[in-house]
Amino acid sequence: MSHFKPVDLAHASRLINHGPTVLVTSRHGERRNVMAAAWSMPVEFTPPRIAVVVDKHTFTRELMQASGTFGLCIPGAALVDLTYAVGSVSGRDLDKFARFAISARDGAATGVPLIESGCAAWLECRLIPEPHTETAYDTCFAEVVAAAADSRVFAGGHWNFDAGNADLHTIHHLGAGNFVRAGDVLKAKGSPGA
Give yes or no for residue 31 having a pLDDT over 80: yes
For the residues 26-44, what does the mean pLDDT come to?
Answer: 95
Mean pLDDT, the chain, integer: 91
pLDDT of residue 136: 97
Confidence of residue 7 (pLDDT cuts 50, 70, 90): confident
- What is the Cα–Cα distance from 67 to 146, expressed in whole angstroms? 17
pLDDT of residue 12: 65
pLDDT of residue 182: 87
Confidence of residue 156 (pLDDT cuts 50, 70, 90): confident
- What is the Cα–Cα distance from 177 to 109, expressed in whole angstroms? 33
Confidence of residue 141 (pLDDT cuts 50, 70, 90): very high
For the residues 69-74, what does the mean pLDDT come to?
Answer: 96
Residue-wise pLDDT tens digits, 81-124 = 999 999 999 999 999 999 999 999 999 999 999 999 999 999 99
For the residues 136-145, what does the mean pLDDT come to?
Answer: 97
pLDDT of residue 14: 63
Contacts 24+ apart (CB under 8 A), 116-119: 116/148, 116/150, 118/75, 118/76, 118/78, 118/79, 118/82, 118/167, 118/168, 119/23, 119/73, 119/74, 119/75, 119/76, 119/79, 119/150, 119/168
Residue-wise pLDDT tens digits, 173-194 = 888 888 989 876 666 677 676 5
pLDDT > 90 fraction of the chain, expressed in percent and rounded: 75
In terms of phi and psi (left: phi > 0; alpha: psi -120 to 50; beta: otherwise), the region of 145 is alpha
